[in-house]
Amino acid sequence: MYKIAVLGDRDSIYGFAALGLETFPVSTPEAGAKMLKRLASGEYAVIYITEALQAKLEKEIDAYRSSETPAIIPIPGVAGNTGMGIMNVRKSVEQAVGSDIIFNENR
Amino acid sequence: MATAHVNPTRMELTRLKKKLVVARRGHKLLKDKRDELMRQFLELVRQNKTLREEVEKGILEANKKFVLARAVTTDEVLNVALMAPKQEVYLEIGSRNVMSVDIPVFHYKTKTPDANDIYSYGFAFTSSDLDDSVKYLSDILPDMLKLAEIEKSCQLLAAEIEKTRRRVNALEHVMIPQMEESIKFIVMKLDENERSSQVRLMKVKDMMLEQAHHYSEHDHVYGDVM
């Protein structure tokens, strides 16, 4: 039985607590990296992470790209959508196809 | 060049020919695998894109409401309201095999079956915006989980496609041409050897006939007579 974690700044993730997801508010990237490591080695299969934090922890997150769990999914924070989430999908496409063929129409 | 290290023997030739057949078959299989993976991947990635757009829109709406709720309620009240959630979400992970890539399938379960259990507070002291915010989030939760599943699948497939593509290219552009060249080299060398031994034999035969019959001396003698 796995659980779902939400990681990011407090304002962005607080609402998820009501749904029964576990929220882990962090304020600095260092704390975020530490927390991410703890969550990833634990019982969390899905970790939602705010885009702002994801942008700073790219290296740490990439380490989990090829393992089956956890799935680390960026979500927009309270500060708005930075486009990092869709960038992440674009990265997958580029890795697989060699060039971006899905998203280039909106450039 | 690699061909310089090949022993030009018949044994090596058969070995290489067998290897080439295997390499060709492997190449064809891997190419098929790559094509199929690519088809599945593109399908998934399109789904991923639309789902993500939906989820991001939903979260944006929820966040808007949440900001409003924060504006009219004090931090303490908000903290207390969300401190003890009634609902809990559990995940069970199955897996699906797509062309030898295990991609996750999530089934989620909530602790209580009542959909209204997302409101972990009395409605008296909080803004209705908070209710809206929580409602929006709970509405997109299934989509968010689906997104997590699909996005992870995309990442795993992308990694596998990259690996497969490398293998296909290595076989197609390096291994197979190299083996073909080696085979050609051995065939040429063997042919050359055969020709040279043929010539040697002819020469030896000439010499032996010469020794037995002394043609050149006879020629000389007859020549004298005539």
Report ipTM for this prediction: 0.86
Is B129 in the A-facing interface, judged by CB distances under 8 Å?
no
Over the stretch A62-98, which tens digit does the pLDDT of each residue have? Answer: 888 888 778 888 888 877 777 778 888 888 888 888 8
B184-203: average pLDDT: 95
pLDDT above 70: residue B219: no
HSE-CB for A25 with a 13 A CA cutoff: 11
Mean pLDDT of B146-158: 89
Confidence band for A105, pLDDT divided at 50, 70 and 90: low
- Structure tokens given for B114: 């009542």
Tens-digit pLDDT profile for residues A20-68: 788 888 888 888 888 888 888 878 888 888 888 888 888 888 888 888 7
Residue A72 resides in a domain: yes
Answer whether residue A103 is part of any domain.
no
For A85, the closest of B56, B141, B145 (CB atoms) is: B56
Q: What is the mean pLDDT of chain B?
A: 85
Give the number of other CB atoms < 10 A from CB of residue B5.
7
Contacts B106 to A, Cβ<8 Å: 45-46
Q: Is residue A102 part of a domain?
A: no
Residues of B within 8 A of A80 (CB-CB) are: 60
What's at B12, amino acid-wise? E
Tell me how many domains chain A contains: 1
Q: Please provide the CATH number assigned to the domain covering B2-180.
A: 1.10.287.3240
- Residue-range definition of the domain harbouring residue A26: 3-79
pLDDT score of B197: 96
> Is the backbone peptide bond immediately before A70 cis, with ω within 30 degrees of 0?
yes
Does A56 fall in a domain? yes
According to DSSP, the residues that pair with A91 across neighbouring strands are none
From B214, B19, A80, A106, select the one nearest A89 (Cα to Cα): A106
Neighbours of A12 (CB within 10 A): 26
| CB neighbour list of residue B87: distance below 8 Å, 6 or more residues apart | A18, A19, A20, B110, B111, B112, B117, B118, B120
Instruction: Give the chain A residue nearest B43 (alpha carbons).
Output: A102
CATH number, domain with residue A53: 3.40.50.10580
A45 is a domain residue:
yes
The confidence score (pLDDT) of residue A99 equals 79
Q: State how far residue A67 is from chain B, nearest Cα, in angstroms.
A: 8
- B70–A contact, CB cutoff 8 A: yes
pLDDT of residue B18: 96
Question: Touching check for A19 and chain B: CB below 8 Å?
Answer: yes
